Amino acid sequence: MRILGGIIFLLGSVGMGLFQSLSYDRGIGALRQAADMMRYLISQIEIENASLPESICKVSFRMDGFIGEVLQNIRERNNKNDGKPLFEIWQEEMTGLEEYFTPKDMGLLIHMFDETGFYDTKTQLQRLKMNLEIFSEEIQARESQRENRCRLYQSMGLMVGIFVIILLW
């Protein structure tokens, strides 16, 4: 019974290491989706000279996953005309994405359109390009660390499991 308990604990700790490495990968995927959203918004503003609300409306139909759902919620809430400015709606909807992003990335996403005018496409475009550059750098940094971090998480899970089994044996 003792051996079976040790094996189960070891498998659980290895599973936690795998879970952490998958969470790291999921965070990189979330950053990629946010960067894709910014690219789509930039192209809508540059090519079609659309305002931010129009761009969000068009991009919400293009995007899949959790970002697409959030953009659709923003579009629907903005179309209701409940008196809230777009940047407040944006902030409220983006706060629901805390499970996908680090606090630093959430800060960038939430405050992406704070200083932009509602129809000032030039400022919106500059802000989007700046945020896209920051997100692209963060993606590259995390991609370069990905292999080492995932290996570390998996090794730590295994080592903690072995340590606790030896300690309690």
- Does residue 141 form part of some domain? yes
Count of domains in the chain?
A: 1
- Selected residue with higher pLDDT from 81 and 131: 131
- Does residue 75 form part of some domain? yes
Q: Do residues 15 and 157 lie in contact, with contact meaning Cβ atoms separated by under 8 Å? A: yes
Q: Do residues 110 and 100 lie in contact, with contact meaning Cβ atoms separated by under 8 Å? A: no
5-33: per-residue pLDDT in tens? 888 988 999 999 999 999 999 989 999 99
Handedness of CA 125, 36, 80, 107 (dihedral sign): negative
Residue 141 has pLDDT above 60, yes or no: yes
75-130: per-residue pLDDT in tens? 888 888 777 887 888 888 888 888 888 888 888 888 877 665 555 677 778 888 98
Q: Do residues 77 and 89 lie in contact, with contact meaning Cβ atoms separated by under 8 Å? A: yes
Q: Do residues 161 and 12 lie in contact, with contact meaning Cβ atoms separated by under 8 Å? A: yes
Element housing 101 (H / E)? none
pLDDT of res. 107: 86
Give per-residue burial for 10-43: e unless 16+ CB within 10 Å, then b: beebbebbeebbeebeebeebbebbbbbbbbbbe
- Does residue 9 form part of some domain? no
- Does residue 11 form part of some domain? no
pLDDT of res. 122: 78
pLDDT of res. 4: 87
Give me the domain span that covers residue 91. 29-145
- Does residue 154 form part of some domain? no
- Does residue 10 form part of some domain? no
